[in-house]
Chains A and B, each alone.
Chain A
């Protein structure tokens, strides 16, 4: 296993940012080119890591270790496993696309924008790769500052308030997590003999704290991650931030940053606090369902394009939360997959929203109508992305949501039923979204609006490709996460046998299997749970 790839992956965007800073200020095009080159290289590297990643192993791969602050037990420890390998690739994919999209959408200070975007990418990649609690926290918070500036400097009219609200909201959650991290470290020192912030080392033995303390520590971690996702009712920063950020940045907020929260729950909460997870999991699953229904209902009522999508995103994140805390292999697998899907589909939706707003300057849905006549390609692409977001069979969203619901039915049937109702909501607001904007008579002032330009095709094409690829061949993604997810749920809460899993012939993880994964068999009777 190579010991440089992940460090290089984090270093490339930082080097790119430095290179962008060296470009003269009045040449934003050159700055974008340099930034795209750096982000593109990072993507190639991430794609190579993704391909070279060996499925079937639950442990870390591409591991790198170095002493960082040995006096305090802080190490520089990077690695990918099934939870993070695809997310890393997603980050590396979306950022260069965002840089390309910013060419049309960011008019002022293009150089600073690209530079800040690259710093954000480094923070995001580090968050998904770090295996040391302090290192993770450093990246986790370091990405807040670029994001604050991206919203505050390039956002809409109410950007300052939205940016500071986002920053303070997320920070107040994560500082309590910092205290919990230190507490875990001190307690780990008592259990292990040597205090360390290294996650695998801390997981070697149970923490051995009382249930009350464990619940408290779990709560501190979970609140930090829940704010980032966000989970209802900690979502109130979301509509402002999503609506005020420049559309390209909203893509990253919804597509990537939200995933960091869900990823944190999987990476830290589940293994570190297994008992508290079992005790409080049902509550969190309920919050997930509440988010699905609340987000869906509120999205339906929104007149603002991006607020509609923002609440829709909240609703979809509810599925991911439900899947995680259903604590079933199928549901967690579904959540891991859905994290990628949500990143692609919601990311694409916000890219499209940005294209619409960039064309008309209007953010309200009632300013549009009948646009399909003027911009047929844009309308077609939107319909595909909406189908994916709706989880129609054949698209990526279907596989993810189906697995989540399948798993949740085993452990939390009531939650699953309610969540299925949420699918109806998403149909309602998403189809309303498409209907209000693209259907009906074409508004006269929208006549002559340009259709998709080559650069916009280039941004959308990879996303559409992934939507169908994952929809038809989810195997590569699911294979990569399966071993890790199984290991994660090892002393599992799933004491009841899982019919869907039990009916399937067991297989050796080391054998390379043909493209069609077993999960696809389970996926086929899908329409049963469709409304």
Chain B
């Protein structure tokens, strides 16, 4: 072997998938199996005691899923990864690995509506309270941290408002309080931003989005940096003897791997939210083209944002990639290769015009997903964020007239043709002067 630091596109194609040592298969085989035969009773015991590496049962690990996990860890620059059945399952696993009844977490309020609901409803029921603050309110975030706070959560690019998190500043706040910074990097993908390089300790993804890239799979993954001191006294779930695993002390037995081992051996094992092997296989295929897909997404996204900003039917475009955008400095720092291709705009005429606009589209798909080769559109206030009340919606950056676009990889002229027709259909020709 050689000591070379391979580039991003190379790792997106190769990491985790050397040729199959038995058959020479160049593509990672799909290990569609529930369980694995033990070599001996001794080997079985070693596996169950977490002393040996190997597979027991696909609820805990699977070779195809492991290849996906290793590739994601490589792309994010982490120590390792654990895959889950969805992004929400991945972030729930992060919380359950670190917090229990009576504990507390702090989250940016500029996050996906489903995350807000998971935190405020599900976690609350489990006895874990969440405090929210605007992602740019650093004093508010620092003040929200209590002695029981176990983590700080934020999205690199907030869904759907496009708020960019100042990761280094958030990491500083979290580390000062001896807690990890957890970053949902879904909208950026590791091609555009690698939060661990900016101080994040844990990264989560909905792999359903740019990582799959083709809208074929529901999946999630967490990646750990390997740099957080889990033995600092604040995380008894990791540093006290675990009744769920032969009273092992994870920080002592597994050193830097303590978090990853517990997330897999206890949370994944006990919750049963594992990724399916077929899904991992599709995600590996998707990742191979992540670099060139993201370049094209950024290119098309910019073209569409510019088109919309010049249209009289459009009230505003919230695209952090504009040089005039208030967040431009953050984009240059954290997203130098581009601000992605998911953003919102407001159509003149509010909610009704928005509905008419979406119904008039021919090529753009009206559905609840993002990060697909296909261009997608949705009205968040009545769909993805509809579980939130008006106040929560406003805090999450969702206006009633907001339309969210996920710009795909079609010919940009065709996308513009479709938008042009729908804008004309939705808004009267003459701009309304008195509003």
Q: Do the two chains bind?
A: no
